Amino acid sequence: MQAKADAQLLREYSRHGSEAAFGEIVARYTDLVYSAVLRQVGSATLAEEVAQSVFTDLARKAPSLAVRLQENGTIVGWLYRSTRFAVSKHLRAEHRRHNRESQAMQHYDPSSATSPDWERLRPVLDQALAELSEEDRQAMLLRFFQSQGFQAVGAALGISDDAAQKRVERALEKLRARLARQGITTTASMLSAVLSANAIQTAPAGLAAKLAGASLAGAAAKTATTLTLMTLTSFKTGIIATGIAAGLAVWLVAEHRALNRLQGENAAFRQQISQLAQPPRQTQPPVALKADNDELERLRGEHGELLRLRGEVGVLRGTQEKQQLELAAARSENAKWVAAAKAEATRVSTINALKLIGLECHLYADDNDGVFPTNLGQIEGVLAKVPSLSTIGTNAIEFIDYGQPVTTSAASYAVLAREREPRQMPDGSWSRVYLCIDGSVQEARPENGNFDTWEQTWIWRHSAK
């Protein structure tokens, strides 16, 4: 059965007070909100508290938000903006209390390595995302922060699968450009791999249920006690404990009172049954007996309500199992993206290494009467100038043995060296990179994947005899 859209769930909650619908929304987006807060505050405890304030705000604003959403609309963009606002509010409070700014880039060193390391990317990621347009940011959130495939992204945005893929690629390139201005230079493929592997941090077990209960209680309250206590929370250990107790107070009190009420009613129920089983006293007034019967009926009705609630819990557990299966499928697709990014990185490193080796081979030929080297050992002294070799390894490259020295008089497209083994690309095709005598690098992808036939035709036909 197809899952309900965010707009449908939000309308069920705002119009009918369906706590199950609100709970499903919280379960659907707990990881997104929790991860976004955790990246910015760096504390798991504070991340839970700020996430609770976001969902409390959602519960209070559900009626107006449900009116603005389209029939199959999503609230992922609204939640992300609300999360940014809640984090900013928390950090401003910390600034006033400690009389200092909370700088996300406090220890950032722009002269460090330019690879998209997650620890360098994490503090500036949300600011860069906030600078994107609403459409681009929503596409990025659905793809990398909700682990949605292009079909799901397109359905949420009201566009085709291909258009969704193009929008994600454009948004990824814009994000890469904004990160470059912060000193983090990388390729779109590598940035995609880093986001796929690190963007979502799994929230602690049971957090979704905790947030749903506390948020609904906070929305129904007439005072802002919970939010006030959250705002007054500090990073110190003792005050953190106070903030946790205050943030969960509404939920724990409600649960405790409900448990006590049910235990008391069950005890009263057993007592009433025991009294009814005894022979009636002649002195007991008929009015008291009628009151006992009314109380018994009331207890039976509440017991039936308890059974109904237990049934709803079973339904919610089934929904959670379904979401876990969908998450596993999304993670599998992301793993394919990571593998594709790694394959592309290896391909680029190999091409760069062969280009630099070609340059060193020409320098070698200039010093040896135009004769090129026949193995890497002859230019071993300059291999340190080829940093890409540290990534792919020297064993990944081999020189072509023609049985005679190759000189500068050979055809310019004669092959001098190549990858030792062909590589299978993520799309299933096979690739091999070659270094020509003129210093150019060529990539071969024969349709049948047979490089022996291709090399016999290409190398021997066009190389010097």
Tens digits of residue pLDDT in 75-133 = 999 999 999 999 999 888 877 766 544 443 343 343 333 446 788 888 889 999 999 99
Percentage of the chain with pLDDT > 70?
76
Tell me how many domains the chain contains. 2
Bigger pLDDT: 267 or 256? 267
The answer to whether residues 71 and 208 belong to one domain is: yes
The answer to whether residues 239 and 350 belong to one domain is: no
Tell me, what's the pLDDT at 370?
A: 85
Bigger pLDDT: 94 or 32? 32
Domain that holds residue 131: 6-247
Q: Which of 203, 230, 247 is the last residue of a domain?
A: 247
Q: Which of 247, 266, 289 is the last residue of a domain?
A: 247
Q: Are 81 and 33 in contact (CB under 8 A)?
A: no
Q: How confident is the model at residue 362 (pLDDT cuts 50, 70, 90)?
A: confident
Residue of 121, 130, 127 whose CA lies nearest to 102: 127
Q: Are 449 and 457 in contact (CB under 8 A)?
A: no
Q: Torsion angle of alpha carbons 253, 259, 264, 268, nearest 10°?
A: 150
Burial readout 171-200 (b: 16 or more C-beta within 10 A, e: otherwise): bbebbbebbeebebebbbbbbbbbbbebbb
How many angstroms separate the first and last alpha carbons of the chain? 68
Tell me, what's the pLDDT at 1?
A: 58
Segment 310-318 shows an average pLDDT of 86
- Classify the phi-psi angles of 400: left when phi > 0, otherwise alpha if psi is within -120 to 50, otherwise beta: beta
Segment 393-397 shows an average pLDDT of 83
Tell me, what's the pLDDT at 100?
A: 47
Question: Which of 67-81, 111-125, 176-190 comes out lowest in average pLDDT?
Answer: 111-125
In a domain, 314, yes or no: no
CA–centroid distance for 131 within its chain: 19
The answer to whether residues 63 and 190 belong to one domain is: yes
Q: What are phi and psi of 398, to 5 degrees?
A: -140, 150
Tokens of 209: 């249920």
In a domain, 91, yes or no: yes
Tell me, what's the pLDDT at 290?
A: 62
Bigger pLDDT: 462 or 323? 323
In a domain, 204, yes or no: yes
3-state secondary structure of 4: coil
H helices of 368-465, where?
Answer: 389-392, 451-462
Bigger pLDDT: 384 or 31? 31
Segment 314-336 shows an average pLDDT of 86
The answer to whether residues 345 and 220 belong to one domain is: no
Q: How confident is the model at residue 288 (pLDDT cuts 50, 70, 90)?
A: low
Tell me, what's the pLDDT at 24?
A: 94
The answer to whether residues 96 and 237 belong to one domain is: yes
Q: Which of 247, 277, 300 is the last residue of a domain?
A: 247
Strand (E) or helix (H) holding 148: none
Tell me, what's the pLDDT at 101?
A: 42
Question: Which of 127-131, 298-302, 385-389 comes out lowest in average pLDDT?
Answer: 385-389
The answer to whether residues 101 and 205 belong to one domain is: yes
User: pLDDT tens-digit profile of 226-256?
Assistant: 433 343 343 333 333 334 444 444 444 455 5
User: pLDDT tens-digit profile of 144-154?
Assistant: 998 899 988 99
Tell me, what's the pLDDT at 133?
A: 94
What average pLDDT does the structure give for the chain?
Answer: 79
**Angle between helices 188-198 and 118-130 in degrees, nearest 10:** 100
Burial readout 293-305 (b: 16 or more C-beta within 10 A, e: otherwise): eeebeebeeeeee
| Distant-in-sequence, close-in-space partners of 54: CB < 8 Å, separation ≥ 6 | 33, 37, 79, 82, 83, 86
The answer to whether residues 380 and 232 belong to one domain is: no
The full DSSP string for 43-102 is -HHHHHHHHHHHHHHHHHHHHHHHHHS-TT---HHHHHHHHHHHHHHHHHHHHHHHTS--
User: pLDDT tens-digit profile of 156-173?
Assistant: 999 998 899 999 999 999
Give, in order, the Cα–Cα distances in Å from 313 to each of 19, 27, 28, 261, 302. 11, 14, 16, 19, 17
Tell me, what's the pLDDT at 278?
A: 57
Tell me, what's the pLDDT at 169?
A: 93
- Rounded distance between C-alpha atoms, residue 326 and residue 402, angstroms: 55
Tokens of 408: 């500068």
| Distant-in-sequence, close-in-space partners of 443: CB < 8 Å, separation ≥ 6 | 347, 351, 431, 432, 433, 434
In a domain, 254, yes or no: no
pLDDT at 283 over 70: no
Tell me, what's the pLDDT at 353?
A: 86
Percentage of the chain with pLDDT > 90?
26
DSSP β-ladder status, 397-399 and 415-419? antiparallel
pLDDT at 180 over 60: yes
In a domain, 164, yes or no: yes
The answer to whether residues 222 and 367 belong to one domain is: no
Tell me, what's the pLDDT at 240?
A: 37
Let me know the angle formed at the C-alpha of 87 by 84 and 230, rounded to the nearest 5 degrees: 140
- Rounded distance between C-alpha atoms, residue 458 and residue 223, angstroms: 80
The answer to whether residues 365 and 222 belong to one domain is: no
The answer to whether residues 19 and 155 belong to one domain is: yes
Bigger pLDDT: 397 or 288? 397
pLDDT at 463 over 60: no
Tell me, what's the pLDDT at 412?
A: 60
In a domain, 324, yes or no: no
pLDDT at 50 over 70: yes
H helices of 282-398, where?
Answer: 286-367, 389-392
In a domain, 432, yes or no: yes
Tokens of 440: 């150019």
The answer to whether residues 344 and 452 belong to one domain is: yes
Question: Which of 143-152, 205-214, 330-339, 435-444 comes out lowest in average pLDDT?
Answer: 205-214
Tokens of 445: 């992808």
The answer to whether residues 15 and 143 belong to one domain is: yes
In a domain, 290, yes or no: no
Tokens of 218: 């906070």
Tell me, what's the pLDDT at 354?
A: 87
DSSP β-ladder status, 430-436 and 441-444? antiparallel
Q: How confident is the model at residue 48 (pLDDT cuts 50, 70, 90)?
A: very high
pLDDT at 382 over 70: no
